[in-house]
């Protein structure tokens, strides 16, 4: 689990629907109060229910946990139900279920989330599940201690260390610079060191050597000043020497090392699991020292995995007993033997001669426990962007990190002050009054009664749909929209009136067209929608026209093949496209290399996600690919409505093929296609998956569209749901007014065109 858990910032960027706690519960409980009364007894009532234990382990670690639990049950412990969850869904599921008294009694998670969990009241102090300080390592204890209390029982420690490919490298230089100096002597295509140079998590180890940290004192942004600048300059020099791949992500580091294309790699214990079946001869040593930092060692971030108790679980003695057992010496030994996990206990000896665990244990001693303050989460996005902007050469180190600090401070600035709800009450009251007045007037005019009576049969048909949509669609949407008037974290939120909207529409007080401002994102969104719709139409309509020709052979087969992009889940294909655009190892780069070889060209591979234009193009290619089959099918359908004799008549009249297409076919299919185009445009406007999964907003958030920007405010910037909801409301208002305007104009136009077509039909009919 810590495999990914370590990178909290990353995990937060995954598309999960996080469901927050009490504030929403209060709002919603008003509306669903009646339903609550009807619903059955709460989950905790069942005394005999097995203990619920949630985790995100896989493979050997999961086996180890199962073995420990089996032993617990075999020795008369309370029955336990284990649930393995996708790591990305872990936090959101906890936040969603525990405040409602549901969910696990205890769960295994990374310590750095404790601060956040504590604020959200989904974790409780462990009490007597903690057997005493003597058995645990100091670093691990420090990690789970907040304000003098223990909030989780430490199980294991995870951090990165240096993997060395012994086939390529017998002696490991003691310094980072020494490793980089090996580059000229290595075989072609082999890097001296593979690590995620563009990621803030990996960079933190370097920063640590220079005495810096990502989060400074009193929750200030730490990635600034001398240590930040010097560490960045060092990375740049490593990349310039070709010793480090420029844009490796974590998975690629694994692949490079596994394939023998990296002499050394910075990675965590999870890499060993991936190397198990390969014949790479490797060993693990501590991270090197850094000459540029005066010979100080690199200091990675340390994650401590711990058993945490939910507030309702913490009250049960059998749950606390299980937590104690999970962290016991015996369990630690099972974990060490089965999963080769570095324990957080100090009284469990490492296996004799186990250099692997030894190296990680030594590394953990100099590692810095990741701060568990909720502010830590807000450091990842600005830090990641600063590193990327610097490595792209856009900004120097000082400007990049200073910009990151501004962004961090902006995201964390205090929410607007509470506003008086009186204006809202007055407005809602006036609206209700107006509606009541309208109804009374309609009733008194005498038309309504008979009209209603006439409508009665129809109501029988629509009643259940009205109820279903009202409850399932409208109520949640209205509540969702109403949260845009609140600010702050859900637990501490308060009513702020229209302050969120004012903030957004004034670009948070900055320049109106600055990166990430509402107006710039809106422009990008419009460009995105427009280019997609144009390309969808161009491709879809031309393919539809070709496939509709009766003389076309094999069109049945073609049609089936062309529909395939529509049938595959779009998150799968979006990830496939992202892989194809990888600068070093993507298929597009392979294509460029192939062309170079075949035609003796010398095109450079393109770093797709480092420039707005290319990153946008990558997103666009993906979404055009996803969307054109729909337009093609719509076109094929619309073409069946084109009467053959009209075309024939036009031909007899001497119209060329081109003229027949533009003057007859297209005008006839247009009204049928228009609604589909409008719907397609709305979908594209809100197309979250592609933007999020392919470019992820890179570079520097410039390719984000409004929906993904809203998502970031809700899920990667300290849970500002109110602010995100305000984005959603603005999106809605824009789409709504544009479609209303479009509807009206389309109607006017359609009437005119219908007349024109009728004329054409009449005219051609006459000529026949």
Region 307-366 residues binding another protein, contact defined as CB under 8 A: none
Of residues 559, 611, 670, 749, which one binds another protein by CB under 8 A? 559
Question: CB of residue 592 vs another protein: minimum separation in angstroms?
Answer: 8
Pick the piece of the chain touching another protein (CB under 8 A) from 213-221, 282-290, 371-379, 672-680.
672-680
Dihedral angle computed from the Cα positions of residues 390, 393, 397 and 399, in that order, rounded to the nearest 10 degrees: -90
- Strands 149-150 and 289-290 turn out to be unpaired
Please list every residue from 268 through 287 that binds another protein, using CB under 8 A: 268, 270-271, 273-274, 278
Please list every residue from 532 through 551 that binds another protein, using CB under 8 A: 539, 542-543, 546-551
Q: Are residues 134 and 81 in contact, defined by beta-carbon separation less than 8 angstroms?
A: no
Of residues 425, 432, 433, 568, which one binds another protein by CB under 8 A? 568
Buried b / exposed e across 530-558, counting CB within 10 Å, b at 16+?
Answer: ebbbebbbebbbebbbebbeeeeeebeee
Question: CB of residue 301 vs another protein: minimum separation in angstroms?
Answer: 14
Please list every residue from 733 through 752 that binds another protein, using CB under 8 A: 735-736, 739, 743
- From residue 688 to residue 727, the character string flagging contacts with another protein as x (rule: CB under 8 A) and all else as - is x------------------x--xx--x------x--xx-x
573 counts as binding another protein under rule CB under 8 A: yes
Q: Which is nearer to another protein, 507 or 642 (CB)?
A: 642
629 counts as binding another protein under rule CB under 8 A: yes
Q: Which is nearer to another protein, 102 or 394 (CB)?
A: 102
- # chain residues binding another protein, by CB under 8 A: 167
146 counts as binding another protein under rule CB under 8 A: no
Q: Which is nearer to another protein, 426 or 443 (CB)?
A: 443
Q: Are residues 5 and 56 in contact, defined by beta-carbon separation less than 8 angstroms?
A: yes
How far, in Å, CA of 350 to CA of 548, rounded? 72
Of residues 207, 391, 676, 691, which one binds another protein by CB under 8 A? 676
Residue 80 backbone phi and psi in degrees, to 5? -125, 140
Beta carbons within 10 angstroms of residue 223's beta carbon: 29
436 counts as binding another protein under rule CB under 8 A: no
159 counts as binding another protein under rule CB under 8 A: no
Q: Which is nearer to another protein, 17 or 513 (CB)?
A: 17
Of residues 186, 368, 424, 479, which one binds another protein by CB under 8 A? 479
Please give the C-alpha separations between residue 316 and each of 82, 103, 319, 429, 695, in angstroms, as whole numbers: 17, 14, 5, 48, 46
How far, in Å, CA of 268 to CA of 274, rounded? 11
How far, in Å, CA of 172 to CA of 178, rounded? 9
Please list every residue from 35 through 74 that binds another protein, using CB under 8 A: 35-36, 38-40, 58
Q: Which is nearer to another protein, 314 or 728 (CB)?
A: 728
Pick the piece of the chain touching another protein (CB under 8 A) from 91-99, 167-175, 283-291, 322-330.
91-99
3-state secondary structure 102-134: CCCCEEEEEHHHHHHHHHCCCCECCHHHCCCHH
How far, in Å, CA of 392 to CA of 531, rounded? 27
What would you report as the CA-atom Rg of the chain, rounded to the nearest whole angstrom?
Answer: 31
Question: CB of residue 574 vs another protein: minimum separation in angstroms?
Answer: 9
How far, in Å, CA of 721 to CA of 493, rounded? 10
How far, in Å, CA of 701 to CA of 385, rounded? 8
Q: Which is nearer to another protein, 148 or 450 (CB)?
A: 450
Please list every residue from 589 through 618 that binds another protein, using CB under 8 A: 589-591, 593-594, 605
Of residues 426, 433, 439, 473, which one binds another protein by CB under 8 A? 473
Question: CB of residue 148 vs another protein: minimum separation in angstroms?
Answer: 33
Q: Which is nearer to another protein, 470 or 511 (CB)?
A: 470
Question: CB of residue 397 vs another protein: minimum separation in angstroms?
Answer: 25
**Token pair for residue 330?**
């015996």
Of residues 213, 336, 570, 610, which one binds another protein by CB under 8 A? 570
Please list every residue from 238 through 267 that binds another protein, using CB under 8 A: 249-256, 258-259, 261, 267
Q: Helices marked H in 276-353 — which ranges?
A: 311-314, 317-326, 329-339
For Cα atoms 330, 332, 338, give the angle at the middle one, nearest 5 degrees.
105
Please list every residue from 95 through 114 that binds another protein, using CB under 8 A: 96-97, 100, 102-103
678 counts as binding another protein under rule CB under 8 A: yes
Contacts of 443 (CB under 8 A, 6+ apart): 449
513 counts as binding another protein under rule CB under 8 A: no
**DSSP line for 234-266:** HHHHHHHTTSS-TT--HHHHHHHHHTT-EEEEE
Of residues 50, 167, 295, 643, which one binds another protein by CB under 8 A? 643
Contacts of 34 (CB under 8 A, 6+ apart): none
Of residues 732, 747, 755, 759, which one binds another protein by CB under 8 A? 732
Residue 198's nearest CA partner among 253, 161, 256 is: 253
Dihedral angle computed from the Cα positions of residues 239, 242, 245 and 246, in that order, rounded to the nearest 10 degrees: 40
């Amino acid at each position: 689990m810590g495999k990914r858990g370590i990178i909290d910032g990353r995990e937060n960027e995954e598309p999960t629907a996080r469901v927050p706690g009490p504030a929403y519960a209060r709002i919603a409980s008003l509306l669903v109060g009646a339903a609550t009364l009807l619903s059955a007894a709460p989950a905790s009532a069942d005394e005999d229910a097995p203990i619920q234990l949630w985790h995100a382990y896989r493979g050997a670690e999961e086996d180890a946990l199962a073995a420990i639990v089996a032993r617990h049950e075999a020795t008369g412990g309370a029955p336990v139900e284990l649930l393995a969850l996708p790591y990305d869904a872990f936090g959101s599921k906890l936040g969603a279920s525990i405040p409602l008294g549901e969910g696990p009694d205890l769960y295994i998670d990374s310590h750095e989330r404790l601060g956040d969990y504590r604020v959200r009241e989904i974790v409780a102090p462990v009490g007597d599940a903690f057997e005493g300080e003597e058995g645990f390592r100091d670093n691990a204890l420090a990690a789970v201690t907040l304000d003098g209390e223990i909030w989780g029982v430490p199980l294991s420690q995870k951090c990165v260390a240096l993997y060395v490919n012994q086939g390529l490298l017998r002696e490991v230089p003691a310094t980072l610079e020494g490793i980089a100096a090996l580059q000229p002597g290595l075989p072609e295509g082999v890097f001296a060191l593979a690590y995620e140079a563009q990621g803030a998590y990996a960079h933190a180890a370097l920063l640590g050597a220079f005495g810096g940290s990502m989060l400074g004192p009193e929750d200030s942004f730490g990635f600034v000043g001398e240590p930040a600048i010097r560490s960045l300059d060092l990375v740049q020099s490593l990349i310039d020497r070709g010793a480090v791949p420029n844009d490796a992500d974590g998975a690629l580091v694994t692949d490079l090392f596994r394939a023998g294309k990296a002499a050394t790699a910075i990675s965590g214990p999870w890499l060993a699991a991936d190397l198990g079946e390969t014949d790479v001869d490797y060993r693990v040593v501590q991270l090197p020292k850094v000459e540029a930092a005066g010979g100080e060692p690199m200091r990675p971030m340390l994650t401590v995995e711990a058993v945490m108790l939910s507030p309702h679980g913490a009250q049960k003695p059998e749950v606390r007993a299980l937590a104690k057992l999970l962290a016991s010496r015996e369990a630690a030994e099972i974990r060490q033997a089965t999963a080769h996990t570095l324990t957080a206990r100090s009284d469990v000896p490492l296996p004799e001669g186990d250099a692997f665990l030894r190296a990680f244990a030594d590394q953990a001693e100099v590692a810095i426990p990741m701060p568990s303050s909720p502010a830590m989460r807000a450091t990842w996005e600005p830090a990641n962007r600063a590193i990327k902007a610097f490595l792209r050469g856009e900004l120097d180190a000082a400007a990049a990190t200073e910009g990151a600090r501004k962004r961090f401070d902006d995201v964390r600035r205090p929410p607007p002050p509470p506003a008086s709800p009186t204006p809202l009450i007055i407005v809602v009251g006036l609206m209700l009054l107006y509606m009541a007045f309208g109804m009374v007037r309609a009733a008194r005019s005498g038309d309504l009664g008979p009209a209603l009576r006439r409508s009665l049969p129809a109501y029988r048909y629509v009643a259940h749909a009205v109820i279903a949509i009202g409850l399932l669609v409208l109520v949640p949407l209205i509540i969702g929209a109403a949260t845009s008037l609140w600010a702050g974290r859900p637990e501490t939120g308060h009513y702020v009136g229209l302050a969120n909207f004012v903030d957004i529409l004034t670009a948070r007080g900055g320049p109106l067209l600055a990166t990430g401002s509402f107006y710039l994102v809106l422009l990008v969104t419009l460009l995105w929608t427009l280019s997609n719709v144009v390309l969808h139409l161009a491709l879809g309509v031309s393919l539809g026209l070709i496939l509709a020709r009766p003389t076309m052979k094999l069109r049945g087969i073609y049609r089936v093949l062309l529909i395939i992009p529509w049938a595959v889940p779009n998150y799968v294909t979006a990830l496939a496209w992202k892989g194809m655009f990888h600068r070093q190892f993507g298929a597009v780069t392979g294509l460029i290399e192939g062309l170079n070889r075949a035609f003796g060209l010398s095109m450079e591979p393109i770093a797709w996600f480092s420039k707005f234009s290319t990153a946008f193009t990558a997103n666009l290619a993906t979404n055009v690919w996803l969307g054109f089959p729909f337009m093609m099918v719509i076109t094929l359908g619309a073409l069946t409505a084109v009467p053959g004799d009209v075309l024939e008549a036009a031909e007899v009249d001497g119209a060329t093929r081109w003229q027949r297409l533009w003057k007859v076919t297209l005008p006839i299919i247009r009204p049928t296609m228009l609604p589909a185009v409008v719907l397609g445009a709305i979908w594209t406007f809100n197309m979250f998956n592609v933007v999020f999964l392919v470019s992820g907003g890179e570079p520097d958030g410039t390719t984000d569209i409004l929906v993904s920007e809203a998502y970031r405010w809700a899920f990667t910037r300290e849970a500002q749901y109110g602010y995100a909801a305000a984005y959603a409301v603005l999106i809605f208002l824009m789409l709504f007014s544009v479609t209303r305007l479009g509807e009206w104009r389309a109607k006017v136009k359609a009437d005119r065109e219908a007349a024109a077509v009728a004329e054409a039909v009449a005219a051609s009919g006459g000529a026949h």
